[in-house]
Structure 1
Amino acid sequence: MNNKKSIRGKLQTFSGAMMVPVILLVIVGFYVGVGSAFTNYILPKGNILYAIFDIITGIGFMIMRYLPLWFAVGIAFTLSKKEKGWGALAGLFLFFAYITAISKFAGYMGWTESSVTVDNLIKAGYTQEKAMNFNSLWTNFAGIFTFDMGIFSGIICGLVAAWANNRWCEKELPMLFSFFSGAKYVIIMVSLLAVPLSIITYYVWPIIASLLQYLTNFITSTGLFGTFVFGTLDKMLLPFGIHHLIAFPIEYTRVGGTMMIDGTLFEGVRNIINGQAGSAGATGYITRNFTTGRILFQLAGIPGVGAAMYFTAKKENRKKVLSIVLPAVLTLMLVGISEPIEYTFLFIAPALYFAVYAPLCGLCYVIAELANVSINGNALFFMIPNLLQPQKVHAMALIYLLPLTFAVYFFVFKFLIEKFNLKTPGRQSDEEGDIKFMSKKEYNEIKKGEKSKADNKNKLPEAIVEAFGGASNIEEVTCCATRLRVTVKDVALVADEKVWKNDLEALGVVRNNKYFQIIYGTRVTTLTTKVKDVLENI
């Protein structure tokens, strides 16, 4: 059981590390969406403003073009426990050493950029289909002929570099070679690791690529059923903190499909949408994008749950309920942070969360796809670029789908709350507790006994460190888009959930053995930096 918890905790940490480079793609959506709108439709060439927006668009596409590189650096940085700067450098160095070694070994085996062309492969005896499949394995990345692995090459290098940095960053060598001790030793080791890693990849990647192609065909061939399964699993895995792991391959690799746009091949639904945003010839966004369904439950469905909580609360408590539901709903609609309301329902009725709420969200994906909703972004803040390219948006169906979704969620959850007498905020008596949102930790178990509490006079980052049992009890600190992720040594030293929510401004807590996720929303990135500063200064 402990091994299972450890594996799940490591997956949570890995999932959080994946979010670091993905944050760059938020920039892509704005840079490409806004910049290309001005250069394609608004400003004439030769204008200085045209040049500025063209540069902005170019930066956005540059981020997409080198996406594997950002994963290598971001993951290596995030998962390195010490000497994070050297860890990031190791990720960068290993990435280029890795793809170069693949190129060299492939050359020794007779494969070059010219020999893998479809025409040359057919001349060598390949059938048309086999020639095209083999040719699709290769690409030119930053002038280096290598496997077309997408973000997987960056993920591999990031993980290996972080492992090497954690293992050898404090390595001591004899006096004669002391210059190469520590972090420098890590750089030497990752360059050597690139050799066996590339040879293994040469033989293994074609097999993995064929499996990914099979997965792509499965998703494509299952149609709306595949869409429903994806949307339902996305919510079912949320409590475990690993929901990103099913979304990333579809959003950022060829598992989600490929499309040639203006002579450039884009892989993954998010990259395709960004490519369409930057294309003057594109007339819309793909409708089977595994993201549009979020619009329905983020802008209407979950607000409907909030309304159900309000109208089922005791009348004398409704003002208090409104004071916590309204900010949560507004935050959800603006930037897509849904955890406070979701975890409240997960705590009070876990069976209904998995049996009703998650499938309803999966159904939202199906309905959006059936209605051919085509739009860039799924929260109001991230939809801003659509205002500059409205001709690419096909979302009139939202006019009736949003109120319909609101009504379904409202009446379903109002019925469930009253039918099963669920203790949502405002339905309990004053003796039973304050009106507030609950979280995942209470879904697992409510920790009993006295816990070490943070000094209210401390600043928040210092109080957070104290709430985790002090710096000596903290093994690792990372974050994703909305959650502070911390690994501790002794869980008994970690503060109770009430301390986190009442004194430390947390929206919720997810606990898995020694792995904690404290939900702080979009401010978590700067908060994580301050927590790390506190740890470094102790």
Structure 2
Amino acid sequence: MKKIQAKIQTFAGAMMVPIVLLVLVGFYVGIGSAFTNYILPEGTFLYKLFTMISNLGFLFMNNLQLWFAVAIAFTLAKKEKGWAAFAGLIMFFCYTKGIEGWASLSGWTPETTSVDALMAAGYSQLDALNFNALWSESLGIFSYNMGIFSGIICGLLAAWVHNRLVDTQFPNMFAFFAGAKFVIIVVSLVSIPAAIATYYIWPYIASALQSLTSFISASGLFGTWLFGTMDKALLPFGIHHLIAFPIEYSQVGGTMTIDGVVYEGVRNIINGQAASADATGYLIRNFTSGRILFQLAGLPGATLAMYHCAKPENRKKVAALLVPAVFTLMIVGVSEPIEYTFLFVAPLLYWLVYAPLCGLCYVVAELAKISINGHALFFMIPNLFQPQKVHAMALLWLLPLTFVVYYFAFKFVICKFNLKTPGRGDSEIKLMSKKEYQAAKNGPQGADAVSASNSDKLEVRIIEALGGKDNILNVTCCATRLRVTLKDESLAVPDDVWKGELEALGVVHAQESLQIIYGVRVQNITTSVKDILGMD
């Protein structure tokens, strides 16, 4: 199970790579469309400029499957990541073109799959609409309407082929085609059976997705609560993106026609509404607005409770730990630094109190009909340019109420069960000295030897704490976690050393791999670690 968990965590981390483009979509479409729809007269230079900005956003949004194919391929590759990304690109175009070719041999083209043509061939109107919905045209290729799933499939296949064949060697006569170049050849061939299999299998998957969509819609507020609770409950395992992304960026989250264009997934629908001059508000059941409540009020209330529950002599240290995390949370919505301050010392508080409360925030936001674009202050900037589409007056009383509920719920549970949240003991916030850290890992002699080197740099100490360069197989990261695959996990230092001496907020273990939580600065740490290790 640990091996399976490690693979799922790695895959979930790969899913996070295209997130920067998804952020840009909201800004480019929201701000660009605001200027072209309401502010600037058509035909002016600035109108053309903001039209281009808006079009960039739609470029990112309308081709999500391509970005996922490339991002997943290079993220999951163990070496030669540039070639892996190229393989993902080749795989995607060969795969989708293969589906188009096999479909045309069966008589399905843009003309024959139109609703009118299907009804003329004897389909009922409902059957014609359902079959027509299976198809779409993207990047000039007519294929199944698979959304991000086509990109995920291609990225996984490309990475799988790449990792197995990138070291392939041939005799000198054929050496030009060895290694990474051989991978490109093979992925183009693998795309053929993959496309044929998908042609026959996808209609059943599409039907299952439609059933899932119907369940989410029919389950109402319970479905909303379940989504919000599971999103947080799965966070410690690093796989919460796997339930959020399909709802946000595929037909699982529903579809809506806006200005004649069909948008799939709640985030894409909101972006479509941001671009429309006729839209009067954003989607209410968006599985996002609930985050506003616990990010701007709930977690700050919880941190105040942890501060008041700490020993008086420790409160300054607790404040120094939590206040920067609250600031980061409210500005960009990264909640893990706070969540991990109590997850590892009070897991029951996290799963039995915090996660259900977060699910309740989603329900309350939906009941209050909050309609807004974004869930953290930075991502709400586009709302300033289209305030007429925002319906969020209920936040004026919901935010204080959420703050109070989280504060008293956390304070009661912490005191009632004497949970060792930060500051309620000595070890949780006490930093281990460098000498103690080196002695714990290598013994006194090892400590003296390392101290003679450039061990002051955090990234150097991280590598040593992982068992040294030779023990590290792969290094990646997601939004807040340094993800490392090791040859021998037993060579890594204990968790209290990570949190004491190495500035980590927490550690998650899987088979021969670690996830070390550093918060939003993890990208710079990852880059430095990979530079020191000589990894591409």
Interval of TM-score (by shorter of Structure 1 and Structure 2): over 0.9
CA distance in 1, matches of 2:77, 2:482: 16
Kindly indicate whether residue 365 of structure 2 is the aligned counterpart of residue 365 of structure 1.
no
How far 1:433 moved relative to its partner?
5.2
Q: 2:218 aligns with which of 218, 221, 228?
A: 221
CA contact (8 A) 1:468 1:474 kept: yes
The CA deviation at 1:525 is 2.5
Distance 1:341 1:309 in 2: 11
- How does 1:15-34 map onto structure 2 within 5 Å? 15-34=12-31
DSSP 3-state at the match of 1:529: helix
For residue 38 of structure 1, report the CA deviation from its aligned partner. Answer: 1.8
Which residue in the other structure is 1:189 paired with? 186
**More divergent stretch after superposition (472-481 vs 449-458):** 449-458
Q: Contact (CA 8 Å) 1:451, 1:492: kept in 2 or not?
A: no
Aligned to 1:531: 529
Question: Residues of 2 paired with 1:318 and 1:460: CA distance?
Answer: 26
Q: Which moved more, 1:148-157 or 1:524-533?
A: 524-533
**1:164 alignment partner in structure 2:** 161
What is aligned with 2:386?
389
Residues 15-35 of structure 1, C-alpha deviation per residue, up to 9 Å, x if partnerless?
000000122101111111122
Partner amino acid, structure 1, of 2:402: T
Structure 2 distance, partners of 1:218, 1:113, is 30
Residue 434 (1) aligns with residue 436 (2): no
In the TM superposition, 1:95-494 aligns within 5 A as 95-428=92-425, 430=426, 432=427, 434=429, 450-451=440-441, 457-494=455-492
Whole-angstrom CA distance in 1 between matches of 2:497 and 2:51: 49
2:493 aligns to what?
495
Q: CA deviation at 1:435?
A: 5.3
Q: Which whole-Å CA distance do the structure 2 matches of 1:386 and 1:264 have between them?
A: 22
Distance 1:59 1:22 in 2: 15
Q: What amino acid does structure 2 have at the position aligned with 1:470?
A: G
Q: Work out the CA distance in 2 between the residues paired with 1:274 and 1:171.
A: 45
Return the TM-score normalized by structure 2. 0.94
2: CA distance, partners of 1:214 / 1:370: 24
| Cα contact 1:426–1:435 (8 A) shared by 2 | no
> Secondary structure of 1:404's partner?
helix
Alignment partner for residue 13 of structure 1, among 10, 14, 17? 10
Aligned amino acid, residue 197 of structure 1: A
Q: CA-to-partner distance for each residue in 1:364-385, whole Å, 9 max, x for gaps? A: 0000000000111111111111
Tell me how far apart the structure 2 counterparts of residues 342 and 185 of structure 1 sit (CA, whole Å). Answer: 45
**TM-score of the aligned structures, taking structure 1 as reference length:** 0.93
Cα deviation per residue 1:445-499 (whole Å; 9 max; x = unaligned)?
Answer: xx9x933588663533333222221222112222112212111111111123343
The question of whether the paired residues in 1 share the 8 Å contact of 2:331 and 2:376 is answered with yes
SS in 1 for 2:408: helix
Q: How much does 1:231 deviate? A: 0.6
CA contact (8 A) 1:345 1:353 kept: yes
SS at match of 2:476: strand
Q: Take 2:535 and 2:414, find their aligned partners in 1: how far apart are those partners? A: 48
Distance in 1 (alpha carbons) for counterparts of 2:402 and 2:276: 32
Q: Point out where structure 2 has 5 or more consecutive residues left out of the alignment.
A: 432-436
Aligned to 1:444: none
Separation in structure 2 between the aligned mates of residue 137 and residue 297 of structure 1, nearest angstrom = 38
Which piece of structure 1 moves more, 333-342 or 207-216?
Answer: 333-342
1:62-102 CA-to-partner distances (Å, cap 9, x unmatched) read 00111100000000010111110010000001100001111
Per-residue CA distance 1:265-308 (angstroms, 9 max, x = gap): 11101111111112222111101000110111111111111011
Distance in 1 between residues matched to 2:47 and 2:521, nearest whole Å:
33
**Aligned-partner Cα distance in 1 for 2:292–2:48:** 34
Q: CA separation in 2, counterparts of 1:433 and 1:423?
A: 8
1:23–1:481: 8 Å Cα contact kept in structure 2?
A: no
CA RMSD of aligned residues (A): 1.9
Identity of aligned residues (%): 65
Secondary structure of 1:451's counterpart equals helix
Deviates more, 1:497-506 or 1:117-126: 497-506
Deviation at 1:54, TM superposition (A): 1.5
Measured against aligned partners, the alpha-carbon deviations of 1:300-330 in whole angstroms (never above 9, x if no partner) come to 1111110111112222322222222211111
Question: Number of residues paired by the alignment?
Answer: 522
User: Which one-letter code corresponds to 1:450 in the other structure?
Assistant: A
1:516 aligns with 2:506: no
The SS at the match of 1:450 is: helix
